[in-house]
Amino acid sequence: MPYKPRDHYFKKAKQEKYPARSVYKLQEADRKYRLLKRGQKILDLGAAPGSWSKYALERVGPKGMVVAVDLSPLKITAPNLIFLQEDVFSVEPEKLRELIQGEAFDAVLSDMAPKTTGDRSGDHFRSVNLAQRALSLAEELLKPGGVFFVKVFEGEAFPKFVEEVKKRLGGPIKRFRPKSTRAESREIFVLAHKK
């Protein structure tokens, strides 16, 4: 199936003033699993252009907070949004914790993906590497019961990654493929709660 950049979700995102169609993946997961609540503190990794952060801000409300991290700039701003234009591998967990007055996060969300090269195996391992970084930050920064929701490209290292999430955060683990995911995409989301 050919890639249609201007599909239904692309147009819907434009109409609803979200920077990208990816918002509907988070929205679908949130509606199904109730990930986000009023007043929460959310860490959004791989946040650009800002759709997930914008949705998270709507869900947490003015008393909540979103800390977003990405190498690329965000297309949104808000009084309760803090944006770090940094590499996720160099951002210090202590720095992230300081931004929310030393507290723990209620959720760590990651829509990070590598720049794809067409080398399916290489892209898969780069995706798992990003997901492992998100897991390390979640393990350190999430409060007990906190949500970890991460995108990964399926492939040979995927089962091992799921096992690692279970070992480091505790089970059960859910695998989630949103309806808005393109048919040809190998992305899948892993959902866990920190024990």
Read off the pLDDT of residues 43-53 as tens digits, 9 standing for 90 and up: 999 999 999 99
pLDDT of residue 35: 98
**Once rounded to an integer, what is the mean pLDDT over residues 110-120?**
94
Q: Is residue 134 part of a domain?
A: yes
Give the domain extent around 80: 39-193
Q: Is residue 73 part of a domain?
A: yes
Out of 41, 54, 151, 194, pick the active-site residue: 151
179 is catalytic: no
Q: Is residue 175 part of a domain?
A: yes
pLDDT of residue 80: 98
Q: With a cut of 50, say whether residue 142 has pLDDT above it.
A: yes
Total tally of structural domains belonging to the chain: 1
Residue positions counted in the chain: 195
Report residue 150's pLDDT band, with 50, 70 and 90 as the boundaries.
Answer: very high
Residue 145: is it exposed, middle or buried by C-beta count within 10 angstroms (0-12/13-18/19+)?
Answer: exposed
pLDDT of residue 112: 97
